[in-house]
Structure 1
Amino acid sequence: MGLATRALILIVMVACLISLANAIDGQATFYTPSYVPSSCYGFQNRGVMIVAANARLFAGKGACGRRYRVRCTSGTNLGVPHPCRGGTVDVTVVDLCPGCAGDQLDLSQEAFAMIADPDEGRISIEYHQI
């Protein structure tokens, strides 16, 4: 294996560790369609891999368009024994979640279903900006 390949592998490994170290612990719920209008984009459709951010994260529309990678870490109630499906989902901030706690994200129903069983309703997550 060449020196350049080894260096590239090392850089990727360090980047992964840094992103894990910067992950924010929180909780996620989901909301259902229709996703328009949104605080950020009005009636412009931004797809279904979207999120409404808590007021702190939303920062008066400062977070509009930011992308986050979200991973389910566990369930929060006894509804579903093992709600996490593994993997991550990448979402774009399109709206404010006025009722969300400071560590909470409100994912679209489709984004939530990518990482967890929607029957759980609320999950523990890790997320970071990408």
Structure 2
Amino acid sequence: MEEKLQVWVMLAMALSLLSAASAKPGLADYHSLPYYPAACAGFDFSNSGSMITGVGAELWDNGRACGRMLRVRCTRSANGFPKPCKDGVITVKVVDYCQQPCDINLSEDAFSCIANIDAGKVWVDYS
């Protein structure tokens, strides 16, 4: 039994390293609600909640990103704001296309979970 536990622990460690290695850096900002209209058909707060994001052209993939879940973690300031990041990783649902030059445009609720709102923009890792 103890050997199986060791195998599971090693497997979990390997998967977490793989996940960290596949994360991509990007610039994140936020928008305030309400969040209508969204580019993804069928978007509704009842089926998406407030942990949502719009994504830029690279992630958008001609609309195939709609409904995709992204894991996002704040890594550092984008504008010199002191200590903008909070610990933790959030999961957000892609519901929109970011028209302005951006990577990730988080809802205010999502942004505030990983960073100080006053920072405005932060660098993140996402996968």
With the shorter chain as reference, the TM-score category is over 0.9
* C-alpha distance in 2 between matches for 1:121 and 1:2: 48
Moved over 4 A (4+): none
Higher helix share: 2
Gaps of 5+ in 1: none
Which shows bigger deviation, 21-30 or 42-51?
42-51
State the superposition RMSD in angstroms: 1.3
Matches within 5 A, 1:60-71: 60-71=62-73
Scaled by the length of structure 2, the TM-score of the pair is 0.92
1:36: Cα distance to partner? Answer: 2.7
Structure 1 residue 8 corresponds to structure 2 residue 1? no
* C-alpha distance in 2 between matches for 1:23 and 1:34: 29
Gaps of 5+ in 2: none
Secondary structure of the residue aligned to 1:111 is: helix
1:59: Cα distance to partner? Answer: 1.1
Q: Is residue 24–residue 126 contact of structure 2 (8 Å, CA) maintained in 1? A: yes
* C-alpha distance in 2 between matches for 1:36 and 1:22: 31
Q: Deviations over 1:60-104 (max 9, x none)?
A: 2101111111110111113x3101011111101000001134xx1
Secondary structure of the residue aligned to 2:5 is: helix
Percent sequence identity over aligned pairs: 37
Q: Is residue 112–residue 118 contact of structure 1 (8 Å, CA) maintained in 2? A: yes
Secondary structure of the residue aligned to 2:91 is: strand
Scaled by the length of structure 1, the TM-score of the pair is 0.90
